[in-house]
Chain A
Amino acid sequence: MPFFTPALVEHADLFFGGIRTTLILFAAGLAASLVLGVFMASLRVWGGNVLSSLAGAYVEFFRNTPLLVQLFFFAVLLAPANLGITRDPVVVGIIGLAIYTGAYVTEVVRSGILSVDARQIEASRSLGLSQIQSLRLVVLPQAVRTVIPPLGNVAIALAKNTTIVSAIAANELLKVAGIIETRNATIDGFIAALFVLWALTMSMAFILSRLERRLAFAR
């Protein structure tokens, strides 16, 4: 089967728009989930009693409920009839993906921070480094190294989850494939979308495995 079937050629602009939207959802979702996840993880570790548990509740709730239900909820909540923030499904998708993925990032970053032996902080403090300096120079370089492989897996999961945003009518790859399917009565769009998504997830998996090997050596 040739990749550029008649149905795809006819809807080339639509399809490339789908690729673009998928990439936007992925990139913006990843950036926002990293910010949210690092913030929540620092609450988890340094937030004290109550804030730490509140951040824990966030993690548990959003990890244990379907992304689809969360997206439907946010689409209605942010709509003009309620909070009136946005009706753009891509924006809703980015927010939903960020909050869902952020819960996973929180856990990864938290275990990364905790993987650094507390005695190292004590040692660097007694060597005269300030709290911030020992974080920046001792904890972070090591934590980042432990955190990168699992974060890569979270990013791959996020890339796959962008497809679920099709359910709130964002014109990403699967939604676009669905439009082509109804117009031309062919699933070519879905097959092509699958190849693009494979390229995205598999290239990340490849880079990740190379990176993991290099990080393992650097220890």
Chain B
Amino acid sequence: MTAAPIVRAAGRRVSGQVWTAAIIAALIVAGFVSGTIPVKPWEPFLRLDTWTFLGRGLVVTLVMGGVSLVLALAIGIPLAMARSSLRGPIGWLISGYIELVRATPILALLLIIFLGVSRLGIDLPAIQAAIVGLTIYNSATIAEIVRAGIKSIPGGEVEAARSLGLNYWQTMRLVVLPQAIARMMPAIVSQLITLMKDTSLAFILGAQELVGFGRSFFTFYGNVLETYIVLAVVFFLINYPLSLISRRLEAGRAPTERPSAVLGKDVTIA
């Protein structure tokens, strides 16, 4: 009685997904066969050198995303610790900083860093400027996620660790942070999706990443719409598995320990 409705719902969703895939595939095939979708603009995508070309942009995109993620974690976690343990003016300052950065549109941040630094006479290439901006923005978001995770760990555990003779750092490193980060992992993975999408904004600074390579590609072949669809699909193939991972991690946790419950809101909505 208890399990049956869930199983039935799951089975129904799968068949619905199969139908959806079939309908989309049928529409595409019908489009090509009837000539509604012209075949010629798609032909370059059957060639290997197209993919080695776009692959170069993809590498830049992945490196930007990866480096920014690592840096954002390296800055965001200490920021979260500082915000949750420091009181008084320094604590307020850190809170204010985090809130201010999170209220900033990422593109505005990127442009101000890129143009501001070049006004100061320092030559910072677009990719590096984008990494700096993405790091600043995402470290604030990750700080907020991790802080909520730290807050969700029962105070009794900290007291127990302290009374066992662990100092503040040991308690954080050995007891609080591992649990807080594990608990918030689904939200961190969702944030990675946002980060991967935001790397595309580096194109506006003039960085040659996936979107930039795509545009160079279609200026040669003239298949503008088709290239944008391919770019979107490439991003989708990176991000959709991440969203499945995030969902699976979330499902593996007790409802009260899920980021949505711990945060009380979804910080990763983008």
Report A's interface with B, CB cutoff 8 A.
Answer: 49-50, 52-54, 56-57, 60-61, 63-70, 72-73, 76-77, 82, 104, 149-150, 153-154, 156-157, 159-164, 166-167, 174, 177-178, 181, 185-187, 190-191, 193-194, 197-198, 201-202, 205
Contacts and interface: CB of A to CB of B under 8 A. Distances in A.
12 contacts: A50-B16, A53-B19, A65-B197, A68-B200, A69-B231, A73-B225, A150-B265, A153-B269, A157-B270, A191-B112, A197-B104, A198-B103
B42 interface: no
A74 to B, nearest CB: 9
Contacts of A162: 105
B269 A157 contact: yes
A68 B197 CA distance: 9
Contacts of B12: 49
Nearest to A50: B19
Contacts of B100: 198
A54 B197 contact: no
A150 B100 CA distance: 20
Nearest to A74: B228
A53 B13 contact: yes
B211 interface: yes
Instruction: Please name the 7 residue pairs, one residue from A and one from B, whose CB atoms are nearest each other, closest first.
Output: A53-B16, A64-B239, A160-B105, A66-B200, A53-B20, A73-B228, A49-B16
A198 B104 contact: yes
B236 A160 contact: no
B108 A174 contact: yes
Interface string B259-270: 000001111011
A153 B266 contact: yes
Interface in B34-88: none
A54 B24 CA distance: 9
Contacts of B270: 104, 157, 161
Contact of A194 (B23, B104, B224, B269): B104
A72 B229 CA distance: 10
A149 B265 contact: yes
B32 interface: no
Interface in B77-133: 99-100, 103-108, 111-112, 115-116, 119
A166 B270 CA distance: 17
B103 A150 contact: no
B197 A67 contact: yes
A66 B233 CA distance: 10
Contacts of B228: 69, 72-73, 76
Interface of B: 12-13, 15-17, 19-20, 23-24, 99-100, 103-108, 111-112, 115-116, 119, 193, 197-198, 200-201, 203-204, 211, 224-225, 228-229, 231-233, 235-236, 239-240, 243, 264-267, 269-270
Contacts of B265: 149-150, 153
Contacts, number: 139
Which of B23, B103, B236 is most buried by chain A, counting CB atoms within 10 A of its CB? Answer: B103
Given A164-B201, A167-B204, A197-B105, A54 B231 contact: no
A164 B229 CA distance: 19
A67 B139 CA distance: 21
A56 B119 CA distance: 46
B224 A69 contact: no
A54 B236 contact: no
Contacts of A156: 103
B154 to A, nearest CB: 22
A73 B229 contact: yes
A47 B20 CA distance: 13
B112 A49 contact: no
Which of B105, B116, B200 is most buried by chain A, counting CB atoms within 10 A of its CB? Answer: B105
B269 A201 contact: no
B28 to A, nearest CB: 13
A166 B193 CA distance: 22
Contacts of A193: 108
A187 B119 contact: yes
A68 B264 CA distance: 29
Contact of A69 (B106, B108, B211, B240): B211
A65 B61 CA distance: 13
B107 A163 contact: yes
Contact of B115 (A64, A150, A190, A202): A190
